[in-house]
Amino acid sequence: MANKGPAYGMSRDVQSKIEKKYDDELEDRLVEWIVAQCGAGVGRPERGRLGFQVWLKNGIVLSQLVNSLYPSGSKPVKIPDTPPTMVFKQMEQIAQFLKAAEDYGVVKTDVFQTVDLFEAKDMAAVQRTLMALGSLAVTKNDGNYHGDPNWFMKKAQEHKREFTESQLKEGKNVIGLQMGTNKGASQAGMSYGRPRQIIS
């Protein structure tokens, strides 16, 4: 915000480490996806971390992105006719995007905080959220994803197995390897020394 002064010492070191996590190649891929998903009307940012931040800062592009992942008629984020100029309205727009992203399936730990984007505190976290959103869209494969499917990794999906009653019964007779085996050496036919002599 306006009252944030320059960082010194450890806070500057921490901020520079956070800034080093930002990936310029990933930025290019995300911009291509957002333009493919939302259309050329969203424009393109200036290259670099700050250009990307300014492009997304008012929340309109993010809202259009998440809305484009839903079928028409069920858009989760309301987009105003004119882009918001007041700070709290812009932050509110970003917060609506974050809630819609969570509702879409992005895990809470992958969701950035509003100040990470608005104050450019952690743009790498913004990239992580957009990557998670893209991966979910590719994985869902519901026809609402536009762009190259190879831009994002598919998330692992549950592969449920169904067993018949006879297969389940058969499984109860199997001895697990942790318990040893019932095949192989046994003590059958072995004798140890002479049998005990009982003298009466």
Please provide residue 124's backbone torsions phi and psi, each rounded to the nearest 5 degrees: -65, -35
Please check whether residue 122 is in contact with residue 87, taking contact to mean a CB–CB distance below 8 angstroms: no
Residue 91 confidence (pLDDT) above 50: yes
Residue 150 confidence (pLDDT) above 50: yes
Please check whether residue 57 is in contact with residue 90, taking contact to mean a CB–CB distance below 8 angstroms: yes
Describe the crossing of helices 123-140 and 87-104 by its angle, rounded to 10 degrees: 40
Q: How far is CA 86 from the centre of its chain?
A: 30
Average pLDDT over residues 141-154: 78
pTM above 0.75, yes or no: no
- Position 6 scores a pLDDT of 62
Query: What are the structural domains of the chain?
Result: 12-151 (1.10.418.10)
Cα distance between residue 122 and residue 126, in whole Å: 7
- Position 184 scores a pLDDT of 65
pLDDT interval class at 9 (50, 70, 90): low
Q: What is the DSSP letter of 153?
A: P
Residue 100 confidence (pLDDT) above 80: yes
- Position 90 scores a pLDDT of 87
Residue 17 confidence (pLDDT) above 80: no
Q: What is the DSSP letter of 154?
A: P
